[in-house]
Structure 1
C-alpha cells in the first residue's frame, strides 16, 4: 500500500463495523493532513487514521470525530459534504456511480470473507469428527418422490373434454 510501517504508532484498540461480523485490531495509526477545497478556498485538518491489513473498497473512512473536526455536515441523500472555510462554505459532492460501485464491492468482499470463515469452521469441525462419521452417505436412487400427503387424496379430472388436466383433492371432498 504506500504506508511506511515504521512511522505508524502501535494500536491495540479493536474496532467493528467496517466488515460485518468482523472485528479488527489495526496495525497502527498515523496522523495525516486532510485538505478539502481549492487553491483559493480550502480547509486542512490533521486526522488520525487507523491502518489495517484487510481488503475493503474504501481507502479511507472519515468518522464522526473527523467530521466534527472539520465542522462538516454530511447529507447522505445528496452525497454532499458542507463545511466552513476561510472564504465561504465548501461543498464537496460525491459521485453516485462511484459510491454504488464501492458499496457493491464492499458487500462482495464481506460475503467472501464470511464464506471463507464458514469454510474454516466446517473444516475444523470435520477434523474433530470420528472417522466413521466423515463419510457422506450415498443418496438412494428413487424414481418417485419421498413425500407423501398427510391425509388421503384423490385425483380428479378438471374438464371432461380435457382429461389430461387434473388436480389432487382430499379423498373426503366431493369433485363436483
Structure 2
C-alpha cells in the first residue's frame, strides 16, 4: 500500500528491496495545482454559460428589445451647484443643491 505524505511531497510504498520513496518537485507540483484549478474554473464557467443560453432561449422576443432612453435634461442646464451643511454636529455632512432643478 502506498502512503502519500503531502507536506514533503513524498510517496512511500513497499518493494522487495525495502521502502521505495518517490520524491516530487515542489515547483512542478505547485504549477500542476494552479493549472488544475484554472481548468476547473473554465469547466464551471462553461457549464454556467450553457445554462444561461438555455434560459435566454425561453425569454420572449418583446422582452429582449433595447429601449431608447431620452437624453437627460440636466445635461443642458447650468451646472451651478451650492453646497449646504446638513447639521452643526458634523461639518463634513453636506448636500449639493443645483441652482436650476427640474420642477418634477
TM-score range, shorter chain: 0.5 to 0.7
Partners of 1:134 and 1:126 in 2: CA distance? 9
- Alignment gaps of 5+ in structure 1: 1-70, 144-152, 159-165, 170-176
Maintained 8 Å contact 1:81/1:91: yes
User: Over aligned residue pairs, what C-alpha RMSD do you find?
Assistant: 2.9
Maintained 8 Å contact 1:82/1:91: yes
Q: Name 1:168's counterpart in structure 2.
A: 93
- 3-state DSSP class of the match of 1:84? strand
Greater gyration radius: 2
Q: How many residues align?
A: 82
Larger helix share, 1 or 2: 2
Compute the TM-score of the two structures, normalised by the length of structure 1. Answer: 0.40
Q: Name 1:117's counterpart in structure 2.
A: 47
Compute the TM-score of the two structures, normalised by the length of structure 2. Answer: 0.64
Q: Name 2:100's counterpart in structure 1.
A: none
- After TM superposition, where is structure 1 displaced by more than 6 Å over at least 4 residues in a row? 139-143
1:22-171 counterparts in 2 under 5 A?
71-136=1-66, 154=86, 167-168=92-93
Q: CA deviation at 1:121?
A: 1.0
- Alignment gaps of 5+ in structure 2: 75-84, 95-104
Maintained 8 Å contact 1:81/1:93: yes
- Structure 1 residues 88 and 122, CA gap change in structure 2 (3 angstroms): same
